[in-house]
Amino acid sequence: MKTFIISCGIVLSATACFAQPQPVDTAAKTAFQTSSPWIPQIDVRSDMAIVYGVGNSNSNFEQRVKSWRERGYNVAFMTGIAWGNYYDYFFGKWDGQNHLGVGQVTMRGDTIMHGHNMPYVVPVQSFIDYMKQAVVKRVIDANITTIYLEEPEFWARAGYSAPFKEEWQKFYGFPWRPQDASAENTYLSSKLKYQLYYNAIKQVSNYAKEYAKSKGINVKVFIATHSLVNYSSWMIVSPEASLASLPGIDGYIAQVWTGTSREPTYFGGQRKERVFENAFLEYGSMKSMTEPTGRKVYFLTDPIEDRERDWADYKRNYQATFTAEILYPQIDNYEVMPWPERIYTHPYKVANSNTSTLIPKFYSTQMQVMINVLGKMPLSLNTVSGNNNIGVLMGNSLMFQRFPTHNGYDDPQFSNFYGQTLPLLKRGVPVQTVHMENLAYPNTLKNIKVLVMSYSNMKPNSAEVHQHLADWVNNGGVLIYCGRDVDPYQSVMEWWDTKGNNFTAPSQHLFKLMGITPVDGQQKYQYGKGTVYIIRQDPKEFVLQPNGDQNYFDLVKNAYKKDAHAGKIKEKNSFYLERGPYDIISVVDENPDTASYKVKGPVIDLFDPQLPVLPEKLVKPGEQSLLFDLHRIDNKKQPQVLASASRIYNESVLDGEYIFVAKSPVNTMNSMRVLLPAEPKQTIVTNSKGEMLSDVKTAWDKKTKTLYMSFDNSPDGIKVDIKW
C-alpha cells in the first residue's frame, strides 16, 4: 500500500506537525461506509470514507462530504438502489406524485418495508429517473468520482403489486400470472425481478458516466451486494453476475459478514451455523463472479451484526469471516467495516439480558489491528493449502426457484448447493465456485480439473452455457452432473423447450451436445478427451442424512485422480495460506481428524489484542488464527511497526532513534509491537499538544527484539519517539 504523507522534520513543533492534513492514496485499498459526518470516535483511518445517502436537506450531504475530506480522506458515495430515505420521491415532493405505491407487495397485500415509510421498490421508470436526477447528479456535482449502488434486491415473496403487474405485461406481452399458482409462474416472476433491477442499474450507471463526462470528469460505479449464495439462501432476487458485463459497472463490494454467514446449513444430517465455511463460499462466489471479467471487488466484513448476541459471539464469528476473506490471496481491497458509528458509539444490547454496553476496549483494539492488517495485506501468488482446481457451477437462476414450494419439491436451507460444496470443504478441499454467466471468458475454467454441477436448484440461462461446457469437456475436463431432474422447474417456459426445442429437462440438451444418451445404471461417459459422470441424486441428499456424502466424495476423488490425472485429493481438517508475513489458518470441525494445526514461532497472535509473541500456536478444530511470522520480516535491521491498533504516519529513522505518529479513533486503546535494533533506553509518547502521556505500558521481548506498547488512541495523532 502506498500512503503519501507530509513528513514532519524534528525541528517543527508538535502542534505544527500534527496539524498538517494527511493525503491518502487515491487507490483506496481500504474503505468504510458511514452516514455520519466526521467525529473523532469513528476516524478508523482507512483510505476511503464512503458517505452514505444524500438525505433530504440541501446542506447535510455536502457538509458530511466536506468533514471527511478535511480529515484527508478520499470520499466516495453509497446509496440504496432498492430502498432509501427517498421521502421526496415517495411523498410527491420531487414530481408532484405520491409514489408509495411502488413498493414490493406480497400475496397477502403487505408492502415489504425497509423502514418506516421506506418500501423496497419495484424499480419503475419514475424511480430510475429520480435516482438519476435527484441523487446521482447531486453526488457528481459534489465532485465525487466513485459511486456505490447498494443492494439491488427484489424479494422472492413479492410480485403482487400493480406496478409489477404492469411491468410483467410490458416484458412478457401477456397478462400477469400469480407466482404461487405454478412453478413456471414463479420462474417467470423471478426472471422479471432480475431484469427490472438489471435495467435500473444499467440506466443509472450509464447516466452517471455520461453526466460526469459532460463535466469533464470520470466516474466509477460499483455495486454493493450480498453474495449469490446468500441471496439464494435468503430468497432474494438480484442481477448479481450479469452486472459485471455492463459497461457502466466497474466492480462490486462483496457484502459478507456474520449476519449472512451464520445462516444455518445442513451437513451430516445436522442443521446448524457453519460460519467460516459459509463465509468462505460466499467470498468465493463473489471472486468467481468478478475475476474473469477483470472488474474490481472489495471484500467486506462486519465486526457486529443486527441480531442481538454478546461480544464474545461477535468476536468469534468476526474472526471466522475475517479469516475467510483473507484466504483469497487474489483480492487485496477491503471495506473494513460498515457503520463505524454503530460499532463505536451506540450501546449494544447484550443477548438474553436487559443491559446494553458500548464495545469493550479489547474488541475495539482488535478491530483496529485488523483494519491496519488489511491496509498492509499483500496480493500473493500462493494458494490455500489443498486442491484448488475443483469447482462447483452456479448461476443467477439459483435465486429463481426458492419461493414458494411447488409440487412438494423442497430445497431446505439451500441444501442442493451445500450438498455439492460442504462435503469437499469439510474435508479440507478449498472448493471453487464457477459462474455460468462467465463461461465465455477464457479464464473461467482455465484452472478447473473437475467441475460439479446440478440443475436441481438452477437452470441454464442460454444454450451457449452448454456449448462452453461441452467444449471444456472435449478438451479434457471432467464434469460431474448430479440431479434427478424431477423438480417442477425442469419444464418452465424457457429456451430448451421453446422455439423448436422440445427437451423436458435442460440437461438433455447438454448431454445431446456431447453425444451422450444416459443409461440407467451407468454413471461414466466419455466425450472427446474428457469424462462425464451422471449421478441420479439431487445434491441435497448428500447432506440431509448422516454420512450421505461419502459416495459423492469418493466419486469426486476418483474422477480427480484417474480421469483428470490431477493426483490425489489431500483430505485434511485445515486451510493454511502464507501471505507476505502473515500465516492464515482455519481448522474445520465435523471431520474425523480432530488434531490441532501447529505453527512454529516466533509469531505475533494478531487475534489477541495484547499482540503476544508465541513460540508456537495451536489452532483447534472450529477455530481460526491470524499470525505475523517474525521469520518473514523483509528487513530485520529496519525499525518498524509490525502490528498496531493504529495507522502509522511520519516515520523517521535517525541514528539510534525511531519516530512516528499513530492515529486511531478516540476512546480506543492502542496496542502495538515494534521491531527495534536494540532495547530502548528512552521512550517518549506525546499527544498532538506536545503533552506527555502518563499511562503508557511497555514490555521488551529480548528474543525477538520487539517492543510492546499500549496507550490511549487519538485521531489527532500520538507521537512516539524511541531511542536506544
User: CATH number, domain at 267?
Assistant: 3.20.20.80
Same domain, 283 and 353: yes
Q: Is 621 within a domain?
A: yes
Q: What is the pLDDT of residue 20?
A: 32
Residue that terminates a domain, selected from 376, 398, 427: 376
Instruction: Note whether residue 13 is domain-resident.
Output: no
Domain coverage including residue 298: 28-162+189-376
Q: Is residue 580 part of a domain?
A: yes
Half-sphere exposure of 221 (CA within 13 A, CB side): 27
17 located within any domain: no
| Same domain flag for 397 and 361 | no
Task: Provide the pLDDT for residue 702.
Answer: 97
Q: Kindly state the cell numbers that stand for 571.
A: 483430505
Contacts of 659 (CB under 8 A, 6+ apart): 10, 650, 651, 652, 653, 719, 720, 721, 722
- 257 with 206, same domain: the answer is yes
Q: Exposed/middle/buried for 59, CB within 10 Å: 0-12, 13-18, 19+?
A: exposed
Angle between helices 311-326 and 361-376 (to 10 degrees): 10
Residue 497's φ and ψ, nearest 5 degrees, are -130, 20
Q: Under a CB-based contact definition with an 8 Å cutoff, are residues 277 and 422 in contact?
A: yes
Give residue 21's pLDDT. Answer: 31
Q: Measure CA of the first residue to CA of the last residue in the chain; give whole Å.
A: 29
pLDDT digits (tens, 9 = 90+) for 145-190: 999 999 999 999 999 999 999 999 999 999 999 999 999 999 999 9
Q: Give yes or no: residues 199 and 68 share one domain.
A: yes
CB 506 within 8 A of CB 461: no
Q: What is the mean pLDDT of residues 370-395?
A: 98
Cell numbers 425497509 label which residue? Answer: 114
Would you say 65 and 144 are in contact if contact means Cβ atoms under 8 Å apart?
Answer: yes
Map residue 499 onto helix, strand or coil. coil
State the pLDDT at residue 348. Answer: 85
Confidence of residue 309 (pLDDT cuts 50, 70, 90): confident
Query: Band of the pLDDT at 7, cuts 50, 70, 90?
Result: very low
Q: C-alpha grid cell for residue 337? A: 467495516
Of 376, 407, 429, which residue is a domain's last?
Answer: 376
Q: Per DSSP, what are the bridge partners of residue 522?
A: none
Dig out the grid coordinates for 189 from the structure: 416472476
The answer, yes or no, to whether residue 15 has pLDDT greater than 70, is no
In a domain, residue 178? The reply is: no
| Same-domain pairing of 261 and 233 | yes
Residue 13, pLDDT above cutoff 70: no
> pLDDT tens across 74-123, in order?
999 999 999 999 999 999 999 999 999 999 999 999 999 999 999 999 99
Establish if 23 belongs to a structural domain: no
DSSP 42-58: G----SEEEEE---SSS
Total tally of structural domains belonging to the chain = 4
CATH number (domain holding residue 513) = 3.40.50
Same domain, 556 and 689: no
Number of H helices, E strands in the chain: 17, 35
> Which SS3 state, helix, strand or coil, does residue 283 take?
helix
One domain, residues 48 and 157: yes
Domain boundary among 608, 632, 656: 632
Q: Is the pLDDT of residue 12 over 50?
A: no
Give the distance from CA 319 to its chain's centroid: 14
Q: Are residues 142 and 278 in the same domain?
A: yes
Same domain, residue pair 361 and 260? yes
CATH code for the domain of 707 = 2.60.40
Shared-domain flag, residues 609 and 665: no
Q: Is residue 303 domain-shared with residue 423, that is, in the same domain?
A: no
Average pLDDT across the chain, whole number: 94
Render pLDDT for 684-711 as a digit per residue (tens, 0 to 9): 999 999 999 989 999 999 999 999 999 9
pLDDT at 26: 46
Q: What is the pLDDT of residues 45-65, one digit of tens each?
A: 999 999 999 985 545 899 999
In a domain, 382, yes or no: no
Q: Are residues 59 and 138 in the same domain?
A: yes
